[in-house]
Every structure is written in structure tokens, then in C-alpha cells.
Amino acid sequence: MNLIRENSLTILRSPQAPNVNTRNSYDSQIAQFNRWNNGEAITPDRIQLYLNNLKSKGIRAATIRLAKSALKKGIKNSLPEKASNLAFLSLLDTAFKEMKVDSTRYSVKESAVLSKKEISLLCNNTPKKLSLMIKAGVPPI
């Protein structure tokens, strides 16, 4: 299915997100996608291929989700005349929901957790204010 007949996305000019850092991140993701896409037609399959390419490079899942969001926003921004068309938006939402990105799995290794003795030593060798902050984040010693 060819959602749009474009071969590159425009950089966001007036993003809905008020945060400048968000806009810059989105702009960066869109620019990376445009370089990778190399002028080919943008389709859901092409976008999924790009997301899979990011995953194969070892990019974190959170960054891949950011790229996915940026591309969706970029498509809407690149096609302002279609962005108000409910059928197009529904099709776009459906296509992006079908693009799966693995969730980030976190695990704490035993070596990453300080023992009570190590916490006590740390608290005894830091300024009182910092020591109190450290103690607030751990069970009483």
C-alpha cells in the first residue's frame, strides 16, 4: 500500500511539540531516514524496513520508537493537504500501529547493586546533603 507518493519528507517547520529538543530530535530522525531512503517511494513496508535496519545496527528500542514517531509526524507535515483528510489519517494510524518495535527490556545485574556496606561507606565519605539524598533512595541501613 502506497500511503504517500513522496520520496522524501520535509523537516518539521512548525511542530506541535513546543519543546525545541523534541523538534531537533525529530528533524534529525527525518534527515537520517531521507538519507537512508535515497529517493525511493515511501511506503509502510519501506518504513518498517528502515526501523528493522536501525534495530540491526543495535539502536535502542526507545530511539527506534522516536524515529517511528518522527516519521509519522514528518508524513503529516509533508502533506498538509492530506493531514486534514480523516480517511488518510485513519490509514496512516493503522499503518503505523502495525509497525512493531520491540520494547526495551531492563534488568539489573547483581554487580550493579551496591551492598549495604558499600552504601554506608559511600554515605560516610560524601557531603551530608548528598549523603541524605543517597539514603532517601535506599532502605535504612
Instruction: Give pLDDT, residue 36.
Output: 92
Q: At residue 1, does pLDDT exceed 50? A: no
Instruction: Give pLDDT, residue 118.
Output: 86
Q: Output the pTM of the full model.
A: 0.61
Grid coordinates belonging to 127: 557531603
Instruction: Indicate the residue type of 135.
Output: K
Quick: pLDDT tens for 101-122: 777 666 666 667 778 888 888 8
Residue pair 123/134 in contact (Cβ under 8 Å)? The answer is yes
Quick: pLDDT tens for 35-68: 898 888 888 888 888 888 888 888 888 888 888 8
Residue pair 72/96 in contact (Cβ under 8 Å)? The answer is yes
Instruction: Indicate the residue type of 39.
Output: G
Count of structural domains within the chain: 2
Residue pair 41/2 in contact (Cβ under 8 Å)? The answer is yes
The rounded mean pLDDT for the chain is 78
Q: At residue 100, does pLDDT exceed 50? A: yes
- In this structure, are 94 and 113 located in the same domain? no
- In this structure, are 48 and 83 located in the same domain? yes
Residue 84 inside a domain? The answer is yes
- In this structure, are 81 and 134 located in the same domain? no
- In this structure, are 93 and 25 located in the same domain? yes
